[in-house]
Amino acid sequence: MKIEELDLPSEAINLYLQAGIEELYPPQTDAVEKGLLQGENLLAAIPTASGKTLLAEMAMLKAIKKGGKALYIVPLRALASEKFRDFKRFESLGIKTAISTGDFDSRDEWLGSNDIIVATSEKTDSLLRNSTPWMKDITAVIVDEVHLLDSANRGPTLEVTLAKLKRLNPEAQVVALSATVGNAMEIAQWLEAKLVLSEWRPTDLHEGIFFGDAINFDEEQKFIERRHKEDSVNLVLDTVIEGGQCLVFDSSRRNCVGFAKKCAPVAGELLDRQNRNELEEIAKEVLENGETKLTETLAYCIKKGVAFHHAGLNSAHRRIVEDAFRNNLIKMICSTPTLAAGLNLPARRVVIRSYKRYDPNAGMQPIPVLDYKQMAGRAGRPHLDPYGEAVVIVKTYEELTDVLERYINASAEDIWSKLGTENALRTHILSTIASGFANCHKEILTFLGSTFFAQQQQSWNFEELLDDCITFLKNEGMLEQDNEVIRATALGKMISSLYIDPLSASKIIRGLEKTTHVTDMTLLQLICSTPDMRLLYLRNRDYEIINDYVMNHTEDFIEVPSPFKQIEYEWFLSEVKTALLLQEWINEKSLEKIVENYQVGEGDVYASSDIAEWLMHATSRIASRINPQLETECAKLEKRIHYGAGSELMELVEIPNVGRARARKLFKKGYLSRQKLAKANEKQLAGIVGPKIAQKILSYLGRETDSNGYVEPETLENKKQQ
Ligand code: ADP
């Protein structure tokens, strides 16, 4: 089917034609024939790179043409940014796109003037909880990576959000995009959608197993020259020499860094001068955007044309690596499997060094087929590579036959709803009642009956679990019942809109009521004791250090469990360990030191501080009901967590481009306030923070500039007097 034949705005068709998209791919044709442009609900369960985004775009363009609005739901923030950047190109058609990933308790009403809104599923849920007015105007809902319904922590939110959206906008078209999963038909039925199911790919995918000296494909063997003692390095070199790029997946962050370091010297020899010069620049950018030893390792690897990628990297580094790979400057990325989920980074060859993953309960376990398919599916860049190759490395013949059966010849598993746990239900029952989707037992059951969980359970028994959750919420003062009618109390509404687990709220309330002596540590440990916080792992060698800290600071904690209750006590120690990381962060310990002390990545520090900021915000709001003085304390801490700095720096650190380290330098030099800074001598300022930043700061503070630079304050005043 030709793009030109489609019932889309002609400007949109031209945009596609200019991008070289003239003919629809077969699954896209199937979708159009099934009513994509007539507002039909669709589930497309098709492989990576088979053009799911174009399907979504066509549905959105059509909806907007008819005067509607589209919501594009993604699982991760990084994906939201990627899609946002993508859809920005529709600006030339007069289509406005916005991204919404920010604060969980705001309604983001300003977003309403946009045509496309990209949001994570959590943000969408929070917008629904806060009765955001423009939500009712949505006429097309796109759900990216809908197979994540299966994820224990994200899935329940996604399915409840979709059930609510369906209730709110029954007429809206739903277009769901999924990897190929076993039970796509079941998901389609739940979404009342037609199914587009296909294994078609724009580039062929050859799946093979490396054993001995060769990749064993279905019908042939491909021998790989031994240039290095390690097979995976040889596979990378072979790809690069043939002009391709390679994505290597490994199970741990440490292995990824180790492998990139191993490849660097040999891969570096294959670079030409221009490539080397460009990589030098990128390495400089890496150094400018990080503070730790890992930054130096990354910069070193990049100079040699290789990189590593995992959640411990800060977001700037992740972005630099992704872009340099897309631009074919970096030839190999070694990544943890998280990169396979979502990001559009195809490569000619994918090498899976390890198909096992650590499970705390069962040790190293083979990954699911779905995860294997997601990784393998990254092989082959459409229009650029003749075909893609996915290679699993094995050590024995038995392993070879196992991998063949387990992955290459297997179909992906079914996915299962994870909503049926008390943890998931507690939160969603409160939000369903608080945002008016149900107000009695029967209505809650009806609402829950519209979830994917209910669809999957033949003889499902929500009732008992539901009763337990309602009893808990009533006991905590978040729900109240008047005969049949169940309502959220003011507290319940607040907790729902703050987007925290009711159990977190209950712990925070108890803690705030009990405290008498409050320090930063008291409040930090309190938020770390909630189920919403992601705790650091307590290693054996941490035990003594953290235990000593607790012994020396007992008065800082609301309650210290008895060391004889071993499990409870160790849990408490991990809370304290996490709180200590946050304390170092707000006390301006360098990132390098924090990363070293806690054996985490920069990305982890930012991720922890993000969650902590949100929880401290919630704590401050809750404290407003209990103790106004504590509310102020928490609000101050919230800001300090945001910036990772002491209270006295807040005025400075809020200035764009300043940041915690520069703010401290300025403060030490006597610039204690914005007012003082605004009167600074530009040269002196440049001596402290560098000329570019000095200019930016002064310009932000309202100092005028002329074409030669900045005018000093005296002259400015003279000018004003004239
Ligand atoms: P998926 O989301 O299924 O992984 P994408 O939507 O990102 O895949 O598409 C992969 C690439 O294929 C993109 O670069 C996209 O522009 C391109 N593409 C999609 N549809 C077509 C088409 N019909 N013709 C040519 N290129 C296409």
Q: State the Cα torsion 107-110-115-117 to the nearest 10°.
A: -40
| Residues flanking ligand 1, CB < 6 Å | 21, 23-25, 28, 48-54, 344, 382
55 CA → ligand 1 middle, Å: 9
ipTM over 0.90: yes
Question: What is the Cα–Cα distance from 682 to 131, expressed in whole angstroms?
Answer: 48
| Residues in Cβ contact with 18 at an 8 Å cutoff, skipping those fewer than 6 apart | none
Q: How far is Cα 181 from Cα 476, in angstroms, rounded to an integer? A: 40
The distance of Cα 215 from the centroid of its chain, to the nearest Å, equals 34
Q: In CATH, what number does 3-197 get?
A: 3.40.50.300
Closest ligand 1 atom number to CA of residue 377: 4
Phi and psi torsions of 208, nearest 5°: -140, 175
- How far is ligand 1, taken at its centre, from the CA of residue 344, in Å? 10
Q: Whose CA is nearest to atom 15 of ligand 1?
A: 51
Fold of 422-493: Arc Repressor Mutant, subunit A (1.10.10)
Q: To the nearest whole percent, how much of the chain has pLDDT over 90?
A: 74
pLDDT, one tens digit per residue, over 627-670 is 889 999 999 999 999 999 999 999 999 998 888 989 999 999 99
The confidence band for 341, taking pLDDT boundaries of 50, 70 and 90, is: low
Report the distance separating Cα 84 and Cα 209, nearest Å.
37
Nearest to 380 by CA among 354, 409, 348, 335: 348
- What pLDDT, in 10s, does the model give residues 570-599? 999 999 999 999 999 999 999 999 999 999
The rounded Å distance from CA 64 to ligand 1 centre is 21
Q: Where is 420: in which H helix or E strand?
A: none
Domains 3-197 and 204-408 belong to one CATH topology: yes
**Closest to 410 (Cα-Cα) out of 356, 364, 372, 359:** 372
- At residue 718 the predicted structure's pLDDT band, cuts being 50, 70 and 90, is very low
Domain ranges of the chain: 3-197, 204-408, 422-493, 502-644, 651-721
Tokens (6 digits) for 90:
């529709």
Give the span between the Cα atoms of 286 and 702, in whole angstroms: 31
Please tell me which residue, 673 or 303, carries the higher pLDDT value.
Answer: 303
In 3D space, the residue among 53, 134, 61 whose CA is nearest the CA of residue 100 turns out to be: 134
Overall average pLDDT of the 331-351 stretch: 84
Distance 202 CA to ligand 1 centre (A): 8
Residue bearing the CA closest to ligand 1, atom 23: 24
By three-state DSSP, how is residue 194 classified? Answer: strand
In terms of CATH architecture, what is 502-644?
A: Orthogonal Bundle (1.10)
Asked if the model's pLDDT at residue 104 lies above 80, the reply is no
Q: How far apart are the first and last CA of the chain?
A: 70
Check: CATH 3.40.50.300 for 204-408? yes
- Run of H or E including 154: none
pLDDT at 708 over 80: no
pLDDT of residue 362: 85
Q: Which fold has domain 651-721?
A: DNA polymerase; domain 1 (1.10.150)
Question: What are the phi and psi torsion angles at 13 (to 5°)?
Answer: -60, -40
Positive or negative, the CA dihedral 204, 209, 211, 216 is negative
Tell me the best of 30, 32, 54 to mutate to test the pocket of ligand 1, counting ligand atoms within 8 Å of each CB and taking the most: 54
- Count of CB atoms within 10 A of residue 623's CB? 21
Q: How many CB atoms lie within 10 A of CB 697?
A: 27
DSSP letters of 471-516?
HHHHHTTSEEEETTEEEE-HHHHHHHHHT--HHHHHHHHHHHHH-S
CA–centroid distance, 450 to ligand 1, in Å, is 33
Enumerate residues 6+ apart whose C-beta is below 8 A from 426: 469, 472, 473, 501, 502, 503
